[in-house]
Structure formats: structure tokens, C-alpha cells
Structure 1
Amino acid sequence: MSSTVAGRTILASTIAKCYNQEIEEKVKEIIQRRENHAAPLLVGFLANDDPAAESYAKWTEKTCKSMGFNYELRRIANKDFLEESIIEANRDDAVDGIMVYFPVFGNAQDQYLQQVVSMEKDVEGLNHVYYQNMYHNIRYLDENKTLKSILPCTPLALVKILEFLKVYNVLLPEGNRLYGKKVAVINRSEIVGRPLAALLANDGATVYSVDIDNIQKFTRGEGLKFSKHQVQDLGDNEPVLLEKVCKDADVIITGVPSPNYKFPTEYIKEGAVVINFSFHKNLNDDVKEKASLYVPSTGKVTICMLLRNMLRLVENREKLKQQIL
């Protein structure tokens, strides 16, 4: 495309609307099925002063209430008591879903806290069982394939955004709809960047996963012996290598949690799709001179996926209860 023609900006709110009706209808069905007719309750734990977490919590509450859910934000003044508070919510039958606004400690202790949340109430999909299933392309929790596994909500939101933007080729078989596509993900966190790279590679894409130290290539691999994606180290994150892989990419996805980071616009291929999932704006204003489609934020789609995960967990618990009876 010509550099004088601005690309289209697609708002997360536009994409989220595609899921609103489905979510609202399922909430009503659950309320009708329950003896006490109570709406599903999501509890969020906030134990930090991060403005991104505060913003996320407000949007979660607003979205929950607009779709018929109950939402309760529990602020934890002393983060050392967070684990005890999560365990209490795990045991409370009135609580249907639990989420924690990370980072809390900003280290391995956060990974431990992710596992403290009950698997049956983990709406963010951070439990190690869900992660293992995702990395190995396993979609169910049981052999009878009645209980669906869930995916981490932010990586799932990015997949849904790519589907909305028609980056996925629906003419190809499911599981191969990103065949021939190259994606650069500027983030390799365990919560978003790495699982996203794995999801996209499992769908057939070549993914360049970039973190502060190095660049890796995720591919699905070939042949029957590969049941999941393969990872290859390409080298240190130097400007020459970064520019090479990014200019080769059909899609650029940024998620650097810093107000000072800006992805170099000159590294974007003409006509590429560009998506930013960081709370901070990782792109300069001239991004639309290169990108054909630009999604500046993803939060509203992430919340929709989180609520869809919660509905799936509620349905899984209902099925388990029926099996016991």
C-alpha cells in the first residue's frame, strides 16, 4: 500500500461486540437453571498500585455488570495476605470465578499464586493443567471429552482478534488456518507472549518470539512425531536481526509493559497487521502509514474471553455434579 494512505484502526470494542450476545444469553440460562437464581459471581483480587491493573479491574466490573454477572473487587492492602484470601474464595461455593490482577510481587511468587487459584475457578486459564493442554493441543479435561479445557484469556483474545481481521484462512482445515503466515510477537512473558507464540504456531504460523535478550522461532514442526510446536533460537535481540524478522512478518503484535518503549515503525512491512496488547502504547503515531490494519488495544476482547472462560467453568462444574448424582 502507498505510504500516503492511512491504514484502518479497528477498536477492541468493535470486536468484543461479536461475543456480547452469546455471553448474555448463556448467563441468563445459568441463572434460570440455578435454584437460587443467582448470577455467576466473579471475584477479582487487587494487591498492587499498578494503574494498568486498576484500569483492567474497572473495565472488568463494568463489563460484568452490563452482561448480567455479579462482580466483586477485593482489595488486599497487605499482599502477604493475598494467598489466604484466594484460598478462602476457592472454598466459597458462592464464588464462580477468581482472577488476580498481576503483577503482585513481580517474581516467581506470582507464578506460585497463579497455581493457588482453584483450577475449577481459574477464569484466566493460568493453571498448569490448562497451560499443558494448550501447549500440547489438548482440548478436553476428561477422556469422554465432555469437560472442555480453557485457554489463557489474553492469548485467546489475540487469536479471536486475528480471526476477526481475517488473518486466519477459513478455507483451510482447522488447526492449519495460519499456514504460510509469519507473525512477530514482541513479548515472551509466561502469561501472554510465550503461550500466544505456541497457539499461533500450533495453528500453522511461523512465529518470531522476541524478548529483551533474544529472538526465537516457533513452528509446528513436521511429521507424526511432533505433537506440538518446536522452538529454535535465532540469536541475540540485536537491531539487525530484529529488523530482519519483523520486516518479514505479516503480523506484528506488541506487548511491552513500559511507557517508554516504542516499536520502530520502519521495521513494519508495508500492509502488515499490527496489534498492541500492552496497557502502554507501544507504537508511534505513524504506525498507520505502514499497517493496513491497526488494533491499538485489546482489553475489551480479553475481558470477553475471560467471561467466556468463566461460563465454561460453570458448565464444567454443572456437568461434574450431574455425573456424581
Structure 2
Amino acid sequence: MVLSSISASECPAGKTILASSVAKLYASEIQAGLEKLGRKPKLVGFLSNSDPAARMYADWTAKSYLENGFDFELLEVDKEELEDHIFQANKDVSVDGIMIYFPVFGNRQDQYLQQTVASSKDVEGLTHLYVQNLYHNVRYLDEASTKKSILPCTPLALVKILEYLNAYNMHLPYGNRLYGKTITIVNRSEIVGRPLAALLANDGAVVYSFDVDGVQKFTRGDGIKLRRHQVSDIEIPLQDAAQVSDVVITGVPADSYKFPTEYIKDGAICINFSTAKNFDKDVKSKASLYVPSIGKVTITMLMRNLLRLIENTNVN
């Protein structure tokens, strides 16, 4: 599907781009999918923590799903009982999709919980099947290329935003449309930052991935057999990476963190996916385009993923 995007003439320096502008481009695709299905797909969300950000995400999901003709049920369960509830939802034929609002335990147990969701209902794309496909740059589930693999919704939302902002060069071959772009990401979580770096590198970008443990450089692999990205541990100051980056993406969940405006390359694209505001108010003095939040696009990708799960199930 061809979507409208921002042209250079529409991008004066310091322009703020709202997530709603990107999300609404997918409204007709989602409605067409619902009409074709002929029923309301059901998503079940599990909330087992008191994190305000998780609660906000759950509320946004419920509001958006119900407004757009989906069925949504939020189940608040004790974290020690969550696994049993997930298994029940896996077996429930009335449930089309399952998501968990993390963190639950805040440790490796959360990674285990991701794997308890049936891949056929994994709307977030976090089970091993989809994660392996993402990291190995495998885009389909079958040899006939009729079933698209599910991508994690937040990294996918960031990709769609970058497409909208013309960071992707649509004149280049598919899978290489970020060739020549350098991107800095401040976040390397297993749910967003790391898979995002892999996705962008698989599309041809050089990605500097920062977190508290250091810096990694993601680049595209060379050759047909080496189609997945390459990762190396490097030492580079954040300032040096940012000043050569066409895009800076932040996702630090702390109100105290602010990305230094003076590090930003003139004319860069800046995107924040944290619930905290990671950029100072003067970000647009350096950035040509600034996206302060992405929540509405993330939820739109959740809807799109749910429809794709059902479509994959229905393909013979």
C-alpha cells in the first residue's frame, strides 16, 4: 500500500510531527481488514504491575481498539498467576490476540513470559519464532511468502514513522532503503531498542546503539548468505555518534534524562518513544523534524498485527 508522506518542501526546520498524523494513514487499511473479516477480533491484555506507564498503555489500547471496531479485554491478574492465565487465553478460541504489559517481574522472568504466548496469538511479535525471524532478516513464515512474519509493534511503529518522514529512500531496492543513513538509538532493551537497531541495520543503515552497558554498532551483512545484520562492541562518545547521525531516537524511561541538544546534527530527525520527555524544549533549534511521542502509531501497529495473525491463520 502506498501512503502519503512528508515532502522536503513540507519540512521547515523545527517542525513537530504528531504520531496521530502517521497513525491515521493506516485507518483505511485496518477498516478494510475488519470488513473482510466480518467480525470483531478480540485482543486480551494482561496487566500485572502498578507501573503508571503500563497502565497508560493499557488505557490507550482499550480506547483505540474499541473505537476502531475491535473487541478488547483487560485482565488485571497477580503476577504469580499470570502464566496460568496466558495458557488459558492460548486455548480460548474466542481470543485472537494476547499482549502483556511489561514489566511484570522486571527481570529475566519477563523474557520467559513472552515465550508462553502462542505464536499464533502473539500480537507483539515477541515470541522466539518472530524474534528469530527479525534478527535473521526473514520476512515470511512460509516458502511461498504468503504469511508475513510479525514484527514487534513499537520498533515497527518507529520504522513506519521514519518511512513517513522520508528517511527511507523508496528509489532504492527493498531491504536497502536506509543505505547511507546513520542512526543513533539511546535504548537497547530487548523489547524495543535492540530489535529496532536490527531492523534499521537490515534496511541498510549504520546504527549506533547506546545503553548503560556501552555502545554497539549495527551494520548490514554482506552477501546473499549473510543477509542478517552484524553487531560489534565499540567505543564512541555519544556526541561523536550523534553529530554524524541523520536520525536520533531515544527511549530512556526517566524524566531526569535529556539528550543534549548540542549533540544533534543540524537538520537531523529526532524521535522519542519513551513516556518521559527525553529531548529539551530547544530540540527544534537543531532538528528539522521532531516526533515527541509514538504511542498512537504503536497501537495502530498492534491492530495491524492482530489482523495479520488472523490472516496468517486463515491462509491454507
Aligned to 1:19: 26
8 Å CA contact 1:187–1:255 kept in 2: the answer is yes
User: Once the 2 structures are TM-superposed, how far is the Cα of residue 177 of structure 1 from its aligned partner?
Assistant: 0.6
SS of aligned partner of 1:138: coil
1:255 and 2:247 correspond: no
**1:62 — aligned with what?**
63
> Deviations 1:83-102 (Å, cap 9, x if unpaired)?
11111111100000000000
Task: Say whether 1:315 aligns with 2:304.
Answer: no
Deviations 1:122-179 (A, max 9, x none): 0000011101111111111122322221111110100000000000011111111101
Equivalence for 1:280: 276
Give the 3-state SS of the residue equivalent to 2:196 in structure 1.
Answer: helix
Which whole-Å CA distance do the structure 2 matches of 1:234 and 1:278 have between them?
Answer: 25
Q: 2:13, 2:289 within 8 Å by CA — same for their partners in 1?
A: no
In the other structure, the counterpart of 1:146 is 146
Residue 118 of structure 1, CA deviation:
0.7
Which secondary structure does the structure 1 equivalent of 2:287 belong to? Answer: coil
Larger radius of gyration between Structure 1 and Structure 2: 1
1:294 counterpart residue number: 290
Q: 1:9 aligns with which of 7, 12, 16?
A: 16
Q: Which runs of 5+ in 2 are unaligned?
A: 1-11
Secondary structure of 1:266's aligned partner: helix
C-alpha separation in 1, matches of 2:191 and 2:285: 31
Following superposition, which runs of at least 4 residues in structure 1 exceed 6 angstroms of deviation?
none
- The Cα of 1:232 is off from its aligned counterpart by 1.4
Report the residue type matching 2:101 in the other structure: Y
User: TM-score, normalized by length of structure 2?
Assistant: 0.94
Please say if residues 28 and 68 of structure 1, whose CA atoms lie closer than 8 Å, have aligned partners that are also in contact. no
CA shift digits 1:273-320 (9 cap, x unpaired): 00000111111111111100000000100011111110010111122x
Query: Counterpart of 1:65 in 2: which secondary structure?
Result: helix
* Corresponding residue for residue 193 of structure 2: 193
CA distance in 2 between partners of 1:87 and 1:221 (Å): 38
CA distance, structure 1, for counterparts of residue 145 and residue 221 of structure 2: 26
- The answer to whether structure 1 residue 132 and structure 2 residue 140 are counterparts is no
| Counterpart in the other structure of 1:35 | none
TM-score normalised to the size of structure 1? 0.92
1:230 offset after TM fit, Å? Answer: 0.5
State the Cα distance separating 1:226 from its structure 2 match. 1.8
Identity %, equivalent residues:
63
Gaps of 5+ in 1: 32-37
User: Which position in structure 2 is the counterpart of 1:218?
Assistant: 218
Count of aligned residue pairs for this structure pair: 305
Work out whether residues 249 and 271 of structure 2, in 8 Å CA contact, stay in contact via their aligned partners in 1: yes
The answer on 1:107 being equivalent to 2:107 is yes
Contact 2:45 2:98 in 1 (8 A): yes
Amino acid at match of 1:14: S
Distance 2:36 2:49 in 1: 35
Cα 1:293/1:71, change in 2 over 3 Å:
same
- 1:225 positional shift: 4.3
**Residue 57 of structure 2 aligns to which amino acid in structure 1?**
Y
- Specify which of 35, 52, 59 is matched with residue 28 of structure 1: 35
| Pairing 1:206–2:202 present | no
- Once residues 146 and 73 of structure 2 are traced to their aligned partners in structure 1, the CA distance between those partners, rounded to angstroms, is 30
Which moved further from structure 2: 218-227 or 114-123?
218-227
Instruction: Give the drift of 1:222.
Output: 2.4
Please tell me the residue identity of whatever aligns with 2:134: M
CA distance in 2, matches of 1:86, 1:225: 37
Alpha-carbon distance in 2 for matches of 1:312, 1:306: 10
